[in-house]
Structure 1
Amino acid sequence: MANHLPTVGVEEEYFLVDASHRAVVAAASRVLPRVKPVAGDLVTGEASQYQVEGKTPPCGTLSELRHGLRRVRRVVAAAAADEGLRLVASATPLLGMRAPVPLNPDPHYRAQVETFRSLYDTFAFCALHVHVQVPDREHAVRVGNHLRPWLPTLVAMAANSPFWEERDSGYCSWRTLGTARWPVAGPPPYFSSAAHYDALAASLQAAGATHGERSLYWDVRPCAHLPTVEIRAMDVTTSVEEAAVFAVLVRALVVQALERVRRGDPGPAVDGSLLRAAYWRCARDGLSGHSLDPRTGRLVPTLHRLRQLLAYARPTLAEQGELPQVTAVLRQLVAHGGDAGRQRAAHARTGSLLGVVDDLADRTAAGPAPGEGPHRVDRRRATRPLGERRPDPGLGVPE
């Protein structure tokens, strides 16, 4: 790890919506069999039948991430289109959700419902999860201590869920509020070691508050089946470019944290109550408001915290040549008020949530190549096995 940049991978969740009525549709069981021969395990089900999840392989560069995300979105969009559906990358459903939501029949979710009961009635949220390679579980836990102060800023940066139950919630990231109801969710505690993490996880499982590591929904956690630290604080983002940039930005935060861990720095033990308050404020106001700095307890402009985050990540981004692209995307986000601002602008422009769904679906489409319209899918790309690594002339992916 000291001699190379860690790989990074992305998991992102999407809603399936009816192309005519724009309401979410419980169609995962119809779409997934169409995707499986092409995507294999890179596209899977999620908690509700309204959703599917796409994944990239481990990637080394920003271009590889773009390529992987475009490919998986194209494949899922093609399969959805065959069922009269479109793909929408929003962190909450806009139209048609009914409680209780239709759940994935996976035994894992059935067991969870027995424990968490009506918490699952409205559990339909789409997130962006970033996995970054780390040497071992000990490093993953200690890296989490260093990431905790930055998590509220990630919430604000990626906020993409202003609408809930077919009205404006008044929040930029309602998903953050919706998932906070779980007994183990949101910002993780401060851990002195991996042994401390495992002991607390065991106590929570013994109390019935979790069903093993899969239901430890902290926003930073060591992955149970991969040598990675997983960062889960962000709403799914509508744009491929922004999803890829968010992933390399998170990787840069992890690289800087790893360096501090190697020097013996245990990380700032920020107060958990301040951290939760900072989450709430960033979920409400997004990039345009103020944020509680959990290290100082002071209210500061969220843009100030975003600049601090970028300064923290800058050495790694600059070394990899990613700083100009990351900076350009962040400037664009600020100018538009992020994805939440774009959703509200689409609603103001079109006068209805139907228009917001159309705008989201167009922007979720994997960035059409020259000559492609927003609704057209290149079937040759969409049916090529995702494990097959070929360069995309428009993305600069190396052989």
Structure 2
Amino acid sequence: MASEAGAAPDMGDSGTWARGGDAPGVEDHPTAGPGPAPDDPLTVGVEEEYLLVDPASRHLSPQAEKVVAAAATPLGDRVTTELTRFQVEARTDPHTDLADLGQQIRSLRAAVAHAAEQQGLRIVSSGTPVLGHPVPPPFTDGARYARSVETFRALDDEQSVCACHIHVGVPDLTTALRVSNHVRPWLPLLAALAANSPYWAGRDTGYASWRTISWGRWPVAGPPPYFESRSHFEDLVDRLVTTGTILDRGGLYWDIRPSHHQPTLELRVADATATADDTALIAGLVRAMVATALRAIEAGEPPPRPSPEMLRAACWRAARDGLAGEGIDPVTGRLSPAAAQVDRLLARLRPALRRHGDLDRVSAGWSRLRAGGNGADRQRAAHRRRGRLADVVDHLISTTAPAGRGHRAP
């Protein structure tokens, strides 16, 4: 969920969409005509959300305002509160170098972890709380949050969930919509790779990403529509606002959305990842997806257009099984091993990964996940050792901000 101010990190070189495809004479149809294929590296930035826990009980702790106040000294407005007092959000700058992005993620985590320790707390990066009583949550003060609770009612009760949002710089709204059409079939694989929420309040849900299932109940969530044109997007958003389905444009909670005030495309499908390296891996993949889509647009390639039903089914299967077993290809409707699907995706993204200098880093990250599992697999492995959920929380504490790493000033 967006912060109270609706702010996003400054991921582009302008605070407005009023350039490029928004200018007169640009084709309105998101798949028609040549689009930009920049030779310069695309910018990428990240928003991460963390949960606060008591290190003794391992339960959630509603002390977000105190932690944010303590973290604001080194981080300024890079750290904010969220909907509930259990959550803290940290934001990176835009980067063109993935190694630099990874270093800033580690530094942000270290700074927030230190601020939490000053309050006698710890932070965990997990899509859902492992222990504690998240329902109903204590909500953060603020007019927008109050409007959300009034409008969405019990939907807000289970929003003590955390995501990782990736922003990639794109030149204009029309391009963002074109790229969204090309990228949406890859959403299930991103969800599977980033799945890190198997537990909810003391029980194993049977899902790799329970956050995906919980979040999908919102009226504007999950995979976005295929946008026929910019006017299709604008008309739809206007209707959603005027009917009270969303509070404002910041309430578009699709897995891909154009930022409403920055020239970026935001992918929101990932759970809060267990490690900074996991986040950097997802960011590298997302940037390569956007770059690959831009080249496809330039070449006049039409985007794959899976049916909404199959795309939704594929996202559900990815949330349930993660990287284990088989996933649904939303375009063909066929089952195949999820790991093999990731291999095919990486082959498709290889030119873009090489062009950005990310190929070795992303390949190594995928090899690590393939061998050790995604975040959900590692949470369950921590539980299997002694059958204690407290061990899962301890595992998350140790992997979210490892002591002695990333303590350089953000």
AA aligned to 1:202 is D
| Aligned partner of 1:103 among 108, 127, 139 | 139
Which residue number corresponds to residue 368 of structure 1? 404
AA aligned to 1:134 is V
Query: How far 1:367 moved relative to its partner?
Result: 6.2
Which residue number corresponds to residue 227 of structure 2? 191
1:126-145 deviation digits (Å, cap 9, x = unpaired): 11100000010111111000
TM-score (normalizing by structure 1): 0.91
Query: How far 1:98 moved relative to its partner?
Result: 3.3
CA contact (8 A) 1:290 1:302 kept: yes
Deviating above 6 A after TM superposition, structure 1's stretches of 4 or more consecutive aligned residues are none
Query: How far 1:320 moved relative to its partner?
Result: 2.9
Residue 16 (1) aligns with residue 46 (2)? no
Query: How far 1:366 moved relative to its partner?
Result: 4.5
| Aligned partner of 2:171 among 131, 135, 142 | 135
Residue 206 (1) aligns with residue 227 (2)? no
1:44-87 deviation digits (Å, cap 9, x = unpaired): 11111101011110011111111110111111011100000011
2-structure distance, mates of 1:368, 1:62: 21
Which residue number corresponds to residue 57 of structure 1? 93
Structure 1 residues 3 and 321: CA distance shift in structure 2, 3 A:
closer
CA contact (8 A) 1:142 1:266 kept: no
| Aligned partner of 1:72 among 84, 108, 111 | 108
1-structure distance, mates of 2:269, 2:334: 22
Which residue number corresponds to residue 6 of structure 1? 42
| Aligned partner of 1:44 among 63, 76, 80 | 80
1-structure distance, mates of 2:133, 2:287: 34
CA contact (8 A) 2:60 2:134 kept: no
Query: Cα RMSD (Å) of the superposition?
Result: 1.4
2-structure distance, mates of 1:131, 1:349: 37
Could you tell me which runs of 5 or more consecutive residues in structure 1 were left unpaired when the two chains were aligned.
Answer: 370-376, 387-399
AA aligned to 1:190 is Y
Deviates more, 1:318-327 or 1:89-98: 318-327
CA contact (8 A) 1:155 1:234 kept: yes
Query: How far 1:354 moved relative to its partner?
Result: 0.6
1-structure distance, mates of 2:88, 2:386: 27
Could you tell me which runs of 5 or more consecutive residues in structure 2 were left unpaired when the two chains were aligned.
Answer: 1-36
Deviates more, 1:40-49 or 1:143-152: 40-49
Deviates more, 1:326-335 or 1:176-185: 326-335
1-structure distance, mates of 2:200, 2:134: 12
| Aligned partner of 1:153 among 184, 189, 196 | 189
AA aligned to 2:213 is L
Instruction: Report 1:1-399 matches (<5 A).
Output: 2-366=38-402, 368-369=404-405, 381=408, 384=409, 386=410
2-structure distance, mates of 1:262, 1:40: 39
Structure 1 residues 367 and 145: CA distance shift in structure 2, 3 A:
farther
2-structure distance, mates of 1:125, 1:198: 29
Structure 1 residues 137 and 340: CA distance shift in structure 2, 3 A:
same
2-structure distance, mates of 1:347, 1:59: 36
Query: How far 1:265 moved relative to its partner?
Result: 3.2
2-structure distance, mates of 1:117, 1:298: 38
2-structure distance, mates of 1:5, 1:142: 19
1-structure distance, mates of 2:63, 2:211: 21
1:21-48 deviation digits (Å, cap 9, x = unpaired): 1111011011111111221111111111
